[in-house]
Structure 1
Amino acid sequence: MKFTFQGKDQGTVNKGNTKFRFVVMALIITAFLTTPASAVVISGDTHLRVEVAEITPNPARPGEDLLIKINIENTGDEPAENVKIGIEELDPFILKYSTSGVYGSGTNTERDFQIEQIRQRSKVELNFHFSVSSGARSGVHQLEFTIKDDDVTSFSRRIPIRVEGNPDLVLIGTEILPANGENFSSGALVPGEEFYLKTTVKNAGNGNAKNVRVVLDLNGSSPMIPMQDNVFFLENLSAGSSENVSFKLLLGSNTGVQPYRIPLRITASNEAETLQINRSQEIGVNVLNRAKINIASLKFDPEMPERGQKASMILRLENVGEGEARFVKARLEGLEGGGSTDAFLGRLEKDDDAPAVFTFIPDKTGEHEVTLLVEYEDDFGEHRFSEVLTFNVIRTRESIVPFVLGAVLVLAVVILYLKKKGKL
């Protein structure tokens, strides 16, 4: 096409053409740099775009169905031929089928299919039915649709879909630990003892939990007394995560010996606060009594053991604990000379005592050191303790008499000699 401009010189015309080309080029660049709100493909005189019409439910729920409606619109002046549609399944969404008026009243289960024609300035509605994996975690997930026309011009559209699961709170790894560290393996308590109740609250569901509370739900008749706050609070606990919980308590000194249950209550909600969690769990604990064996007295028969003579060590053992002691036995270790070094006492109730008698013949004089080893059982298991004992052994009286007589005789001779010399 030829343009003729009158009243202008050639230089003016050239300047006008330059400005015209600049404007056209700017418009082309602007068209390429401008991104529409919905995905678009342009091929010839066709102009395709994809818009999301509906997501139901929104947010999606794990283990339930999901409907996504999209519109593919041709805003161009010519029909779009052989429009190929592909679905990239992204976890946790699984395609079940799709429906559309363009392929009748039936369903389509293919992830990739073709629409023969989309007329100019018209649109096609597609309904995609998915299932959401029951293990889907809360958060934003995506589905991707690809569109390709007959000229192999293609584009893709990712659709963000929010999934909101439900939390499921459980207590795991619960244990009872005495504050003084004793009886660690037994998991039992004695009256008047401080202890820790330790557990872990876990979100075993597929949704995040909000405003989580673990509460010691004790009533006025409970022998358990909280030593600290009886509520553990977490603002959020995401799916699959856990948090350690600890309470310090005191068991009343007058608590009876029997099993008890400590009630715990868990409250929380899902993120949308459409689900409220309120459940209880009980922790069992045994209250037992502990035996304790002490040496009540120690004596010898005769009172002063003699070398080479039979002697008896009489130990009186007493149960000063609150529980029954069973299979009580004692043994002396390190005793020199022959004799009996073992004693079996059997059962000792609270405040009971019994003698442990050891007979032996010491073979030398002087100080002796022996170790007393006591073993017994109670409701908490086996126990043992040891005590170092010392005693003296003297010479026998028969060996002392000749010595004394000899000394007296020597003294008499000395006195007689001195008299003869006139010195006395």
Structure 2
Amino acid sequence: MNQRNGFACLLMLILVIVLAGVPTVQAESSGDECLRAVVEDISPSSVGRDEEFTVGISLENCGTQVPEDITFAIISIPPDIIVIEDLVAYIPQFVYQNSERQLRYHMRTTPDAIPGPHIIKMKLTYGNDDVKRTEYYEVEVVVTGEHAEPRISSISTDPEYIYEGDTVDLDLEIENFGDSIAKSVVVNLNHGFKGITSSTIGAIAPEGKQTALFKFKANNSGTFDIPVIIEYEDDYGIQKDEYNIKITVLDRKSSLNLASVKVNPVLPQIDDTVELTMRIENSGDRTINSIRVYADHPFQGLKESFIGTLDPDEDGPAVITFVADQSGEFEIPVTITYIDDFGEEQVETKVNVIIMEQDDGSGTIIIVLLLLAVIGGLAYNNYRTKKSKDDIIKQLMEGGSSSAEDSEE
């Protein structure tokens, strides 16, 4: 029984020694096998857009054993860098303990590569099936570029002096003060009026100029600070710059005016057919189309007249015909409508028309008597003037005769 116990104790001791020796052997093997990757150079050191460059990698043995089953692979590439060589390099075994292996990758940046740092990720694997080693590396490639700088270089408006109600053509000259091409340039004008707020002008070369065109209706007077946002793309990607311009809109100056009013007959009476003629003048500097005049009178007859188109400094008649079925003094609202680039616009004014009571003859008699009185007064005045002249002539003649008689005595 004691012999059996002693044999069992001996087996237990041998088993402990074997299990304890396994990790010791593996640790020695792990410490002796070592391989590292070193970035030797990036040539050229400054990489621009659409340019070729190389990345040199050196695999160095840093242990006492000759490494085997070596695999070096590029596992992640930025989208704007192209690698020409194979991404995976396999080396079965180094020749001797101090061996090195050089790898050189030819690469190229894309024409639209974004300037700045770009990270290329790599993986190194080596060792046999019992002990497999994996190391990860990163290589930084900096792509250089230039900035574009599109800015407002001049502002012009047509008309030069803007009045409330004017249709305005606004031109912004955009000049590129940067060293890179400004591509896909869009100018946004947040003017708050009815009209065009965005203008696409494409690409602007360094020191080049392009004009952003806008049109709007200045429907409010005052001084306005208007934000101008310029969106574009340069070597560093999509950019956005904001500026401000100042525009002054003067008090309303209507380009359509009521130049004259004519009523036929001049003093219409009840039951007369009245012809009201209003001449509409275009005092602006633009042609105005589809002009209509609406007179909201209380009589039976036409209320609207169509003029059509008026060029600058041109006028046209709007004729309204109605039957005067009531007497009195009437203030008639008149609305002038027209169409411009932004839709229908209106100008409102008023005209006065007097309708007389129907004449019963007394009016004519009074007018005749007044005319006779005026004529009689003129005749009497003329008579007095003529008599006065005759008396003076007579006195002069009598005075002349008395002088002659005195001289004879």
1:206-262 superposed Cα distances (whole Å, 9 cap, x missing partner): xxxxxx9989899xxxxxxxxx9xxx99xx974221224555699xxxxxxxxxxxx
Q: Which residue of 2 aligns with 1:307?
A: 270
Distance change (3 Å), C-alpha of 1:67 and 1:214: closer
In the alignment, the residues of structure 1 paired with residue 281 and residue 163 of structure 2 have an alpha-carbon distance, to the nearest angstrom, of 25
Please name the residue that 2:143 is paired with: 163
Secondary structure of the residue aligned to 1:240 is strand
| TM-score, normalising length: structure 2 | 0.55
Counterpart of 2:14?
none
Aligned CA-pair RMSD: 4.6
| Structure 1 residue 53, shift from structure 2 partner | 1.1
**CA–CA distance in 1 between the matches of 2:312 and 2:110?**
63
Counterpart of 1:72, as a letter, is L
Greater CA radius of gyration, 1 or 2? Answer: 2
Is the aligned partner of 1:53 residue 2:28?
Answer: no
Partner of 2:282: 319
Provide the C-alpha distance between the structure 2 equivalents of 1:69 and 1:116, rounded to a whole number of angstroms. Answer: 20
Choose the corresponding residue for 1:293, options 256, 260, 265. Answer: 256
Match of 2:82 among 94, 98, 104: 94
Task: Tell me what 1:197 maps to.
Answer: 172
> Is contact 1:81–1:118 with CA below 8 Å preserved after alignment?
no
Alignment-mate amino acid for residue 152 of structure 1: K
Q: Post-superposition shift, 1:312?
A: 2.6
Task: Quote the offset at 1:371 in angstroms.
Answer: 2.7
Instruction: Return the alpha-carbon distance in structure 1 between the equivalents of residues 208 and 112 of structure 2.
Output: 29
My pick for the range that moved more, 154-163 or 337-346, is 337-346
Aligned pairs for 1:201-216 within 5 A: 203-204=182-183
| Distance change >3 Å, CA 86–CA 316, structure 1 → 2 | closer
How big is the shift at 1:68? 0.6
Q: 2 CA distance for matches of 1:344 and 1:336?
A: 20
Deviation digits for residues 148-200 of structure 1, max 9, x if unmatched? 2212122112111112245567799x99777858688x763xxxxxx562769
Query: Is contact 1:80–1:118 with CA below 8 Å preserved after alignment?
Result: no
Change (3 A) 1:217 1:241: closer
Quickly say closer, same or farther: Cα 1:376–1:76, change in 2 above 3 A: closer
Q: For residues 183 and 66 of structure 1, do their structure 2 counterparts lie closer, same or farther at Cα, with a shift above 3 Å needed?
A: farther
Asked if 1:140 is matched to 2:117, the reply is yes
One-letter amino acid of the structure 2 residue matched with residue 241 of structure 1 = Q
Choose between structure 1 and 2: higher helix proportion: 2
- The residue number in structure 2 matching 1:398 is 360
Shift in Å at residue 147 of structure 1? 1.7
Alignment-derived partner of residue 325 in structure 2: 363
Determine if contact 1:43/1:153 at 8 Å carries over to the other structure: no
Tell me the residue number matched to 2:237. 239
Report if the CA contact (8 A) 2:56-2:103 is conserved.
yes
Q: Does 1:77 align with 2:50?
A: no
Partner AA of 1:135 in structure 2? D
Contact kept in structure 2, 1:183 and 1:380, CA below 8 Å: no
Q: Could you tell me how far apart the structure 1 residues matched to 2:150 and 2:165 are? A: 27
AA in 1 matched with 2:265: P
2:78 aligned counterpart, secondary structure: coil
Change in CA separation of 1:316 and 1:240 when aligned onto 2, cut-off 3 Å: closer
Q: 1:128 deviation in Å? A: 1.4
In the superposition, relative to structure 1, how do residues 69 and 389 fare at CA in structure 2: closer, same or farther (>3 Å)? same
Q: Deviations over 1:111-168 (max 9, x none)?
A: 2523422522232111112233333211111122222221212211211111224556
- SS of 1:398's partner is coil
Structure 1 residues 62 and 337, CA, compared in 2 at 3 Å: closer, same or farther?
same
Q: What secondary structure does 2:49 align onto?
A: coil
Identity %: 22
CA shift for structure 1 position 66? 2.6
**For residue 256 of structure 1, what is the aligned residue in structure 2?**
none
CA distance in 1, matches of 2:332, 2:89: 92
Instruction: Tell me, in whole angstroms, the C-alpha distance in 2 between the residues paired with 1:363 and 1:70.
Output: 107
Structure 1 residues 371-401: Cα deviation after superposition (integer angstroms, max 9, x where no partner): 3233456899875423233434332123988
Match in the other structure for 2:348? 386
Deviation at 1:67, TM superposition (A): 0.8
Q: Which runs of 5+ in 2 are unaligned?
A: 1-28, 185-204, 212-224, 367-409
Q: Give the residue type in structure 2 aligned to 1:153.
A: R
Deviation at 1:362, TM superposition (A): 1.8
Distance 2:283 2:119 in 1: 71
Structure 1 residue matching 2:360: 3-state secondary structure: helix
Following the alignment from structure 1 to structure 2, what is the Cα–Cα distance between the partners of residues 94 and 317?
72
CA distance in 2: counterparts of 1:181 and 1:166, whole angstroms: 43
